[in-house]
Amino acid sequence: MTNTNDNSLKVKNRTRLKIDALRSKVDYHQFEFETTEEVPVLTNVIGQERGTKVMKFGLNVNKIGYNLYVAGISGTGKTSFTETIVNEFAQKKTTLYDWCYVYNFENGSKPKVLQLPVGMGEKLKEDMEQLIENLKVDIPRAFNEEGYQKEKAAIIRDMKEQSTQVMEELNDVAKEHGFVIRQSGSGILTVPIIDGEPITEEQYRKLDEEKLKEINQKSTVVQEVMVDYQNRLRKLEKEAKETIENVEQKVALAAIGFHMYDLINKYENCEDVVTHLKSVQNDILKNINEFLQNDEKQEQNPLAMMMPKKPKGNFYIKYVVNLLVDNSNTEGAPVVIADNPNFYNLIGKVEYENQM
């Protein structure tokens, strides 16, 4: 009878591997490199030739709604393989643009987007910054020139002379009814005349009822006459203000026009940019006082109360160009890798300013 243990031992001895058989032997002479640093990086997944073809085919489908999905066992190089294929595909010739956000002068809460040729976005940003810095110097300089100061002074002087004439006419009418006209911070006052002299408040309080009734009746007549003269004075102030504003517009336009003309010519092939530059010019002309140096006290004149007050905050921020996409150093189509592709990270969001 054969011993089972002996048979098993014989089988093990026949199938036993020698130590040399436990490792692979490679003839190093067949390699054409000295170290692995000289070996090119592997750009595909071994054994996935079909997957590579499918990836390239899918990337060439230039239609909205077509996407590629790559799945596989963790650690097999899916991400690096996908990035390699996509980066290789992105090197083909493509048309790129720079994209900028700018202030919308019609609706400040909805910025406008500008499309520019590659490299022009950064230039527009720098040009706008330089424009504002130049205007901060050139506009005050233009308004400090002797020609503008003389013209403005002549307008105010003419308005004052006409106002004085109107006041003299009004005073003559008031005297016929026993009053004299006085100007105060609250407006035009009528002061009764008794014995050829304007009376004081103390004298007025001591008058009897009959005299007060007579003065009040005459005062009503004078007040009705005064309405027409007050309207004439307001009209003179309005005309003087409009005349000064027209002169200011011409002076400001001369200071702005030189710089704006160069910019419009520089970006003449970008219609949206030219439109924005014209909007900037119109806004500056409307807010010319923001560029004027008003550290010194304004000269006291009848037009002082009509001058707009300077708003708080950074006024110049609306002229800043926000460079959203700069493709000046991009070769081929841009490749964006999103590790956390949620809605806000992909699309972005607008944070509104809370008020009240």
Condensed to tens digits (0 to 9), the pLDDT of residues 96-106 reads 899 999 999 99
Q: Can you give the pLDDT at residue 179?
A: 76
- The amino acid sitting at 281 is Q
Convert the pLDDT of each residue in 157-187 to its tens digit: 888 888 888 888 888 877 777 777 777 666 6
CB 132 within 8 A of CB 277: no
Question: How much is the pLDDT for 313?
Answer: 52
Q: Which has the closest alpha carbon to 139: 283, 264, 289, 278?
A: 289
State mean pLDDT over 189-206.
72
* Residue 350 to residue 352: CA distance in whole angstroms: 6
For residue 196, pLDDT over 50 is answered with yes
Domain ranges of the chain: 32-93, 155-239
* Structure confidence at residue 334 (pLDDT): 82
CB-neighbour burial class of residue 34 (10 A; exposed 0-12, middle 13-18, buried 19+): exposed
Torsion, Cα 257 261 262 264, to 10 degrees, reads 130
pLDDT in tens, 318-338: 999 999 999 988 888 888 888
| 160-to-97, 155, 237, 240, 293 alpha-carbon distances in Å | 58, 9, 9, 10, 26
DSSP E strands in 211-328: the ranges are: 322-325
Q: Which of 318, 344, 348 has the alpha carbon at shortest distance from 111?
A: 318
pLDDT at 308: 47
| Predicted local confidence at residue 304, as pLDDT | 45
- Amino acid occupying residue 273: V
Q: In the structure, what pLDDT confidence band is assigned to residue 44 with cuts at 50, 70 and 90?
A: low
Quote the distance between the C-alpha of residue 311 and its chain's center: 17
The tens digit of pLDDT for each residue in 210-269 reads: 777 777 777 777 777 778 888 888 888 898 888 888 888 888 888 898 899 999 999 999
CA dihedral 113, 114, 118, 121 (to 10 degrees): -90
179-184: strand order across its sheet: 179-184, 187-194, 197-198
Classify the phi-psi angles of 187: left when phi > 0, otherwise alpha if psi is within -120 to 50, otherwise beta.
left
Confidence at 132, pLDDT banded by 50, 70, 90: very high
Percent of the chain residues topping a pLDDT of 90: 21
pLDDT of residue 311: 45
pLDDT score, position 152: 86
Residue 90 CB contacts under 8 Å (≥ 6 apart), including other chains: 332, 333, 334, 335
Mean pLDDT along residues 278-292: 90
The model's pLDDT over 286-316, given as tens digits with 9 standing for 90+, comes to: 888 888 855 443 443 444 444 444 444 588 9
Beta-carbon contacts of 54 under 8 Å, excluding residues fewer than 6 positions away, are none
